[in-house]
Amino acid sequence: MSELSVVTWNINSVRLRANRVAAFLKEHGPDVLCLQEIKCHEAQFPASVFREAGYEHMHIAGQKGLHGVATVSRLPLEPLDTPEFCNLGHARIVASRIDGYDIHNIYLPAGGDEPDPEINEKFAHKLEFLDRMEKFYGAFDKATPLIVVGDLNIAPFEHDVWSHKQLLKIVSHTPVETEAMARIVEAGGFNDLARREHAAEQKLYTWWSYRSKDWAASNRGRRLDHIWANPAAEPHAKPGTYHIYLEQRGGEKPSDHAPVQMTFGRL
């Protein structure tokens, strides 16, 4: 095997959608699956489902009812220290080393509804989380191959949302958030692989609200799920392998996010 395929997916309750995930793994067989919003403790994680699918290696950070992230892998996985991005003790990050890559799986705070940190503690928390990411990745060793994936809850560019003008004051696309994300990308020397692979003018979405009666027809999406590679990892990202599994947003009891994949060369 000369390739390492990595999928990120906000599953919005892994126990509720365990069978759906198992079917996805059987059909597509990525080497690494990074899940966000698993919504369970580590002991409640449906590990047997993943073992039966061939994913013996797991790194899980769980939390009752909310949040939670998990990375599962066909290949051996070394747990790494958790970056201290969250000051509230939420289970929002797992860092793992797989096949020579450091893989950071992140569920960034959504930030609530009001984009004002003075009156919205959730938005203030989001901005602090972003500030901590910028400092951490600015100091990270650029010679270490690093892949950052997850639901980062920010759609950074004009065509990452269905209406740039209408969403400028909506949390996930406000200038204070997109500018903070741009600083993180610059600090870490990251390449946003979606935009490496697709022109800035092309609409790309990974999330569609449950509130829409027909999400596919209205297509009012946002690109909230990301795969970044730092200078040591980016040259190994295989051109033409970025993929959004749009069909996973449909069907019975879907997550409101679609899985996103990128394939890298083995180190």
Q: Please report, for the chain, the start and end positions of each structural domain, with discontinuous segments joined by +.
A: 3-265
Block residue for tokens 């489902």: 49
Which residues contact residue 29 at a Cβ distance below 8 angstroms, ignoring those fewer than 6 apart? 5, 54
Q: What one-character DSSP code corresponds to residue 189?
A: T
Which residues contact residue 141 at a Cβ distance below 8 angstroms, ignoring those fewer than 6 apart? none
Tokens of 208: 């569609």
Please, how many CA atoms are within 13 Å of residue 108, restricted to the half-sphere of its CB? 28
- 193 phi/psi in degrees, rounded to 5: -70, -25
DSSP H helices in 70-120:
none
What is the reported pLDDT for 1?
61
Q: What one-character DSSP code corresponds to residue 116?
A: -
- 132 phi/psi in degrees, rounded to 5: -65, -40
List Cα–Cα distances, 226 to 167, 201, 214, 260, in angstroms: 19, 17, 24, 8
* Burial annotation 141-173 (CB, 10 A radius, 16+ → b, else e): eeeebbbbbbbbbbbbbbbbbbeeeebeeebbb
Block residue for tokens 């679609």: 258
Which secondary structure element, helix H or strand E, spans residue 78, and what is its range? strand 78-79
Nearest Cα residue to 110 out of 83, 92, 94, 84 = 92
pLDDT in tens, 111-145: 999 999 999 999 999 999 999 999 999 999 999 99
Q: Which residue numbers in the chain have pLDDT < 70?
A: 1
List Cα–Cα distances, 37 to 21, 48, 91, 117, 189, in angstroms: 14, 19, 9, 23, 27
Tokens of 226: 């990301």
The residue type at 190: F
Cβ contact 13:19 at 8 Å: no
Tokens of 137: 């990745």
What is the reported pLDDT for 263?
98
Please, how many CA atoms are within 13 Å of residue 95, restricted to the half-sphere of its CB? 9
Q: Note the CATH number of domain 3-265.
A: 3.60.10.10
Query: What does the radius of gyration of the chain's CA atoms come to, in whole angstroms?
Result: 17
Tokens of 17: 């959608």
